[in-house]
Amino acid sequence: MEVSYFELTYDDIAKVSQMEKAYFGQPWSEASIAHYMETGNNVFVVAKAGKEVIGYAAVMCVLDEGNLVSIAVEEDYREMGIASELLDIAYDMSQERGVASINLEVRESNEAAIRLYEKEGFEKIGLRKNFYSNPKEDAVLYLKQL
């Protein structure tokens, strides 16, 4: 199976929103995704198998800092390196926008994501108590220098 990577387009927003609803307790709406895409400084990368969106990553960029706000890969395509490739492309695109570091928060129970982030060179820098709802849970904070 060949996977290709692209910047998010309007045609991709419905699928990304659908994935948000499937995988996250506080999903982004289509309108929110479109709004942040339109600002021009943020990074949205999608992975596609053929024409089907199978994964995405979103980094909000403010001055020289990025915040990885969302990343997901469809269950049937996990453990294939797609998330790592999405992150690598997002790092490059973020650097092109002047970003020097990327931070993120992740649910304390999300062991698969934590393994990915640590493999990618993110360093644990803190904890936010009761950050998440649906269900209520602490967030682990990570930072990566680009």
Please indicate whether residue 7 is annotated as part of the active site.
no
Catalytic residue among 105, 111, 120, 132: 105
* Cβ atoms < 10 Å from Cβ of 141: 17
Residues in the chain: 146
- Beta-carbon count within 10 A of 22 CB: 11
In this structure, what DSSP letter does residue 146 have? Answer: -
105 annotated active-site: yes
DSSP string, 71-116: EEE-GGGTTSSHHHHHHHHHHHHHHHTT--EEEEEEETT-HHHHHH
Q: Among residues 91, 117, 132, 142, which one is catalytic? A: 117
- Could you give the CA distance from residue 26 to residue 119 in angstroms, rounded to a whole number? 26
- Catalytic residue positions, numbered: 105, 117
